[in-house]
Amino acid sequence: RPQKTAGSPPPQRQAEAVAALMKEHGEMNAGQTWCLISSKWLESWIDHTGSKAFWQYRPEGKMAANSSVPTPIDNTDIVQEPQEGEAKMGHGIVKVRLSVQEIRDFFYVPVAVWEALHGWYGGGPKIERGTKLAGVIEKRVKVDLHPVYLVLMSCKEEDGEADETGAEAVPHPKEATLREVLQKLAAEASGEEDKVENKGSKEGGEGDMELSDEEVSKESKLSVRLWYREEKKKTFPFEIGERVEACYKGKWYPGDLVDLPASDKYGRFNVLCDVDKDEANQPKTMVKVIRRQNPKEGEGEIIRQWKPITETHLDSELGILKLAAGGVLPLLVERKKSSGEWVKELQVKSFRDFEEGDQLDCEDTQHKFLPAVVKKVLEGKIYVHYTGYAERWDEWINATSRRLAPPGTKCGRVARDDDNGYSSSRWGSGGGAAKGSVGLRNLGNTCFMNSTLQCMNATPSLTNFFVDGEYMAQINPDAYKSHGRIAKEYGNLVKEMWSERPHVVTPSGFKAAIGDFAPRFSGYQQQDSQELLACLLEGLHEDLNRVRKKPYDPNPAIGNGSDDEKIAALAWNKYRAREDSVVIDNIYGQIRSQVVCPECKKFSVKFDPCGILQVPFPSVNTMTQRVTLVRHDVTQPREIMAVSVPKAGNATDLAEAVAAAGSVAANRLVVCEIYQGRVYKVFPSHHPISSILANDRIYAFECPELAGEAEAAVLKVKHESSHSSFGVPFCIAVPVGEGGSVKAGVVEKIVLNATRANWEGGLDNSSSEGKSSSQNAAPFKVTYKTGWSETTEALEADADIEVSGDTEVKLVWESKADYVPSEIVKHQSYIDAGDEEGGEKEKVTLQGCLQAFTKEEVLSIGNEYRCPTCKKMQRGKKKLDLWRLPNILIIQLKRFQYTRAWRDKITTYVDYPLEGLDMSPWTKAEDQKRNAIYDLYAVSCHGGGLGGGHYWAYAKNLVDKNWYNLNDSSSGKMNPSAVRTREAYLLFYAKRGFDGTRAAKEAFEK
């Protein structure tokens, strides 16, 4: 293109002229036409002229000093390459790339500004877009960046074919319908607006059908009708015995066709592959995709034919109409002849003359009629898919079966082409609910899903994005795992929740999609709402990622703490080069992670993206354990104490805590659990504290030091009378000789000394461990149990007792009345902790949780990192801080604590603000502190314990700004004071002043 700069005004005059035009035409209103211009070119022009007409879009301090003359306008970097069919049409269709963003890639300018710039510099192409007043939640002026082009072609009277020479490509908003187009064309043809009868709300089904007799009679009253061009590949039916190739895990395997899909409940071909013919049992390969090894003549050729637009298409929005999936829909406009006859003959087919894509009502195995669509037709059978349900319910049905009925005759509704499978009803206590605050039906332990969806539905930026249909232009059909299905189903669900009528929505379509994306959600077990939220954000991001080909960058951005701004920006740019979606724009921020080596003191700092901020409770790594200390000196009372121990600790940690509180030696303590009058378990040193339950009775027995180097064994002792246990059992340490045995006399002496305080006169009978007391003086008899055998008579003093884990000493009392209970006193630690379980705890605030999140800690054993300087694993000091604050801040209160053998839910009340959450103290980025005030708009709550419990949500309505209690099918207004609850689990905050419609602008400012 020639450079049109000759005769152009000087740079200053250009800047003044554009400024005047922007002042006159720069206010955007609905119904206008604006032009797109590449940011690269416009910024070069701004640098050349010094223009400040677009200064509001230029970040402060980013003005370049480049006086070179701009090249001709070049918009090719924002234009999408035309597809093959579009290129052949040549109707002036100019589509922009789906990944483009305002300011980063292009600017909107008035037509007058474009004409001025184009007159000075030339170039192009010219990209015009219309403006409209849009928004279901809040009306605002928007530019229709990705319209749907309807290529209108007149029908020739002589042969009924399309006259492509006079074809016109007309852009239409995505929310427009073909009914509106048909009304306008009919009005133009007749001179007055023909009214196309609207059948009302139509749901269910996919695909296209020929017109029914009733539809033909209605359409025949109009002076215009529309046809769309169907393109199909020519196919021939497969026959048993044919040589085919089966597609298995992406590879093709030749073989013989054994059976057809009609014989398989899942609609699969049965192929005996050549590689399996040598096997003894000759395994068959069941696949859904096969191809002929030698294609027949003409197979695979494209067959094009015009088919009528039906009622299933008329009320579907163009943005989600399957016929316009590529953003371009060729239409044949047929007008009646002057004689009143149509040019083309419309064939009316029988209902049971099924084709792929036909819609119908089908009775399922539970004898309930549901909207369905025909997926395959074969040998008198059809393979049907129930609209809105998972594919596992698809089945083969005889074409003559009474289970099949014309669409709308059994279900009471006619399917639309864009049907999403979401049913709704007025069932449920939805009184007082506003638009958007509706109930979600529980499909079976799906309260966790409903709670998450209600909170997401209250997120302003995302909800506007989905309700207004903007997501359709950004869906990536090649997205990993989901292929765009998560975004489609979520968008359908949100639209249904924001429809005009108050109702309860059944999210079966979303449930099936999220279950296929993440199989752990496919069943009907109770799950975690935070895990579902993380999975939903991942799925939406992948489906809407504007980056189709992710660049590979093997060099991570790691700093040493001296240049955080530079490293943070580098890390963020690397991340956004691969991950770029509306989810990242709104919800993701950055975390600063610092690790310091304890040996070489090297700082390692990196910056990671973060979507859900998981904050712990203060002191959540420790727990208070109640233990009763029994001293060796029986004249001293027993003490019940409450000691603080690490949750990840073991019995050794517990013994050391008890020893410190009771001023005894830790190595002389035997820690055990007492249950139903016996020592249930003696804890080994490695026994995890996390396995001890709240109501377990834990005792610590002090044992005397053994003389010399004798090995000690622990024996369990219990009290028994009339074959029933009573009293408090205890443990003793006895010296064992070679072979692991001990003399009965030694055991008897230790037992009598340990029980002197439990029978009258016992303290007087033996004053020291070294003096023996006759068993005859004690009101009990010492017996022994070794394995399954039990000796009920006293053994001789020199008798050997084999000591093992099953050895137990029984004190058989003549009467329970002779037993004197030991005195128990409360240690000061027990008094400080409180006698009552569940007593008032220290108040916890959200700020306290954030402080715990940013607290420096030493890496635990097993979580070490490799120091790049020392070249070895180190237990460094780690500290986390917030860096980049997102527009939408999601905070998870880590109430659920899990270890290998321990689970717990923290029910502590957390005081969190409804308005004015100041996050500036928690970010280390100075530029982020200026706008760091957040307001709460939704809470996901969990009540009950770990075994199941129940989820619900509190959410602030986007329209009336009132708070609503959303509990499955129930929805109703609530007092804002009740939003603060001890059941709060996920907190959703929005940055104050954040406008979701400008999210892209804020995200891509340089």
Q: How far apart are the C-alpha atoms of 418 and 312, rounded to whole Å?
A: 8
Beta strands in 568-686 (DSSP E): 589-596, 603-610, 612-615, 622-630, 638-646, 669-675, 678-682
Q: Tell me how far CA of residue 535 lies from CA of 401, 530, 650, 811, in angstroms.
A: 41, 9, 35, 60
Active-site entry in 362, 447, 867, 941: 447
Q: How far apart are the C-alpha atoms of 503 and 988, rounded to whole Å?
A: 25
Give the ranges where 413-500 is alpha helix by DSSP (H).
447-457, 460-467, 485-497
In sign, the C-alpha dihedral spanning 862, 866, 872, 878 is: negative
- Residue 63: is it exposed, middle or buried by C-beta count within 10 angstroms (0-12/13-18/19+)? middle
If we measure between CA atoms, which residue out of 976, 961, 962 comes closest to residue 914? 976
Active-site entry in 48, 91, 118, 950: 950
Length of the chain: 1006
- Residue environment code for 132-164, b if the CB has 16+ CB neighbours within 10 A, otherwise e: bebebbeeebbbbbbbbbbbbbbbeeeeeebee
Structural contact between residues 808 and 715, judged by C-beta atoms closer than 8 angstroms: yes
DSSP secondary structure letters along 37-70: EEHHHHHHHHHHH---TTGGGSPTT------PPP
Is beta strand 243-248 parallel, antiparallel or unpaired with respect to 251-259?
antiparallel
Q: Is 447 a catalytic residue?
A: yes
* Element spanning 73, H or E: strand 73-74
The position carrying tokens 């396995």 is 691
- Residue 174: is it exposed, middle or buried by C-beta count within 10 angstroms (0-12/13-18/19+)? buried
Q: What does the block give as tokens for 646?
A: 């690490």
Structural contact between residues 773 and 779, judged by C-beta atoms closer than 8 angstroms: no
Q: Is 686 a catalytic residue?
A: no
Cis omega before residue 125 (within 30°)?
A: yes
The position carrying tokens 């996050």 is 919
- Helix/strand/coil for 462: helix
- Helix/strand/coil for 497: helix
Q: What does the block give as tokens for 184?
A: 């306008």
Q: Which amino acid is at 297?
A: E
Q: Tell me how far CA of residue 735 lies from CA of 744, 768, 803, in angstroms.
A: 11, 18, 10
The residues annotated with a catalytic role in the active site are: 447, 950
